[in-house]
Structure 1
Amino acid sequence: MLFKENADTIEEKPFDKWVPLTRGPFGYSIARSVAHQELFGEILVLCDKARIPLIALHFETGPGVIEASLHYCVAGGRGSSIAFKSMIKAWAQTRGMMATFMAKVSEKWPGRSGHIHISVASDGDNAFHDRDRFRSISKQMSQFIGRQLKYMSVFCVLAAPNFNSYKRLVPGCWAPACPIGADMNPYLALSCAIGSGILGIEEDAALRASIVGDASEKTCHTSARLPQST
């Protein structure tokens, strides 16, 4: 999330008075992307020079919110999420702006999420796909997800590392009370996601029944809901 602020102005006024780069909740706006193409161009050039493989860059839902998607890499390979965050924060200051990856800046605006995508190959084939099973989800994928769900609350201490992280994990805030935020340490979060999934395959874990309806409402008062504080 980008603000038209600097190190001095953010000290002079409360955070709810900070001015975001754009106004309104509009995401995937072509008009906004064109209007700010110079800024986007600078980010793309920086990523290219830093050898950070950026494959998508666009405005997301919320004032001043931008989504950046990094190219996949082999688990254990060279990561670039933390480098990207540090680079963007420094770059923003050179433009007279401030960038934050805080999970929840204000109750008035959507939070900032962090998405982890995992695929598993076996002898060159997608181990998570089986066209003969329900929704084409293979047994290995069911096992993988089963243990992720079981240990997700335990791993919150690593995947949701800040007090502010839990302000986003509430019903009605654009996301179920179970995903991680943009303030995560991607290496720790990915280790948790992969480690729990592998454990599920080793233990032949079962995937619990899916929730039909509003998951936020149905998990609001059950053990399935994630922790609400550190």
Structure 2
Amino acid sequence: IDAARKMVILTRLAFGMNVDLADVDTVGIRGIAPRDMEVAEQLKYVVKLVGTAEEKNGSVAVSVGPVLLPKYHPMAGVNNENNAVFVTGAAAGETMYYGPGAGELPTATSVVSDIITVAKNSKLGTNGNAFNSYQHDTKQTSPDDIFSKYYMRIVMDDKTGTFLKLTQIFAEAGVGFDKILQEPLDDYTATVVVVTHVTSKAQLEQAISRVELEPQMQMQAKYQVVEG
């Protein structure tokens, strides 16, 4: 929730759009299973809680959730109490702002900075002004226009034809597989991990809705995957 509130503020600053907290697609880290951490390591990813705001053709998509980042990504090394803001700009390219997000001295520094700002604005007579006047009409990006790769872990009956059925479901939704891992879970079931090619959120949701109707398949995890 804290990260989602930060994304509301950052979306306002970056794109001038007022997104409601309820409109931020928010997933926490409590549901991450140890197995997903192990598979991410095997595939050379790390799992981080990431808030994303992306503008496209005058609309914005905002989300918060666990994301698989390649180990060479700058945000993959953000650990412990540290936070980072990673920005991709049309002119500046990729930049990252990094530092402590908690602790006595970092918090005290921010509080004192705010007090000094209030005192300065009181002296100048500028208190009460909007912190940011940059504004655009707020428009949510359609799921058809939100694209990413995705990681999914599915438990299914380990019998002939079940995996074929899974691939058919995703193929009919237009979702292709980049990586596939399958291993027995017990004598009757298997765990299948797939990383998709870049696909739209709408296509993925269509495939998942059909998987959830299949009694021999159980979706265990779904996370966004960032490349580059």
TM-score under structure 1 normalisation?
0.27
More contact order relative to length (CA 8 Å, sep ≥ 6): 2
Instruction: Report the structure number with the largest CA radius of gyration.
Output: 2
Q: Which has the higher helix share?
A: 1
TM-score of the superposed pair, with normalisation by structure 2: 0.27
